[in-house]
Amino acid sequence: MSTTGLYQLTEEHDAIRAAVRDIAEREIAPYAAEVDADSRYPIEAQKALTAAGFHATHIPEAYGGEGADAIATCIVIEEVARVDVSASLVPAVNKLGSMPIILSASEELKQKVLPSIAAGDAMISYGLSEREAGSDAAAMRTRARRDGDTWVLDGTKAWITNSGVSEWYTVMAVTDPEKRANGISAFVVHRDDPGFAVGPKERKMGIKGSPTCELYFTDCTIPADRIIGAEGTGFKTALRTLDFTRPTIGAQAVGIAQGALDAAVEYTRERKQFGKAVSDFQGVQFMLADMAVQIEAARHLVYVAAARGESGHSGGKVDPDLGRLCAAAKAFASDVAMKVTTDAVQLFGGAGYTQDFPVERMMRDAKITQIYEGTNQIQRMVIARSLLR
């Protein structure tokens, strides 16, 4: 891979990490177990992040946002995920839902939607997947037809993160079935639009604080100017969006892994077996060392991918290796998260299998990072296709 997109952490990045960590530990961590146990939305986290301006740092200053760079956004997500992955989906999904607008929407549509998200008055979710169109997203069946000065949407979207709490939804729908991927367009739907409804919450293994529901469109009518970009460009916009958001899933995975390692280090220092601390045993030390090495490697790969994403779309020309790097960051970091959290449970022994300690929740939460925004099998296909191109 090319070395362009190398990054350097600044004093501002360090300050952001310190500020978010303080908020996460004081105002988010105390509710994490309850949020998981009750499968309730982490409203305390949303309020705390919004009050500090960390709910959508990526939105440009022109629309009232912080205009933070991609690494800063990754740091925010990483530090929140370190204590509660469900809460980290507030900034992560705000970025996922709004990036298609930032990348491709008209100036009028940007001005209509982005300021409310930047101000924390609204959140935005992303509607691409369907029950029979997950990895094969181009097989979607949701349709949109032009009717005078409106678009009318019909269909169902599945696995929509933060559905019900978001006011805005970026939705992909087929406008020309004959063209398959080139017949897909992107739209912005508001929860008050006629014909739009949110389904019941899914019962999930992890990230239980973040509601995941279906979206229903039944003659859902929206103004014609809510199309994102030109008709038929929606799928291209979706692919470009992933170059900016797959690193954020990697950051989320790094945060989970770091939280699990921190908990394992503390527990093995305190727990005594055979007359000494568990952390004094070399086998345990080697496990902790491997966990730390894997996390640090994942963190740097994520930051490189994030930096490369910002430079890789410059001048209207896309870096041909960008997709490969972003896929690698997401796949590697999420695999690390699953391994590290599993090892953390092991290091806690029987206690790790109980809900009295956070590592079992972290292990359950980590699994989704290998699945959403493209399964890790899809990431490997992207990487292999780039290598063999």
Provide the annotated active-site residues: 373
- CA–chain centroid gap for 96, Å, is 7
Q: Residue 314, exposed/middle/buried by CB under 10 A (0-12, 13-18, 19+)?
A: exposed
The Cα 110–Cα 118 span in angstroms is 11
Q: Do residues 96 and 251 lie in contact, with contact meaning Cβ atoms separated by under 8 Å?
A: no
Distance between CA 322 and CA 242 in Å, rounded?
10
Residue 212 φ/ψ, nearest 5 degrees? -120, 120
Which are the contacts of 217, defined by CB distance < 8 A and separation ≥ 6?
A: 142, 153, 154, 155, 156, 157, 171, 173, 189, 195, 196
Element (H, E) at 9: none
Q: Are 387 and 259 in contact (CB under 8 A)?
A: no
Question: 226 CB contacts (<8 Å, ≥6 apart)?
Answer: 109, 151, 187, 188, 189
Q: How far apart are CA 330 and CA 327, in angstroms?
A: 5
AA identity, residue 382: V
Contact indicator for 150, 224 with CB cutoff of 8 Å: yes
Torsion region of 156: left, alpha or beta (phi above 0 gives left; psi -120 to 50 gives alpha): beta
The CA distance from 40 to 209, in Å, is 5
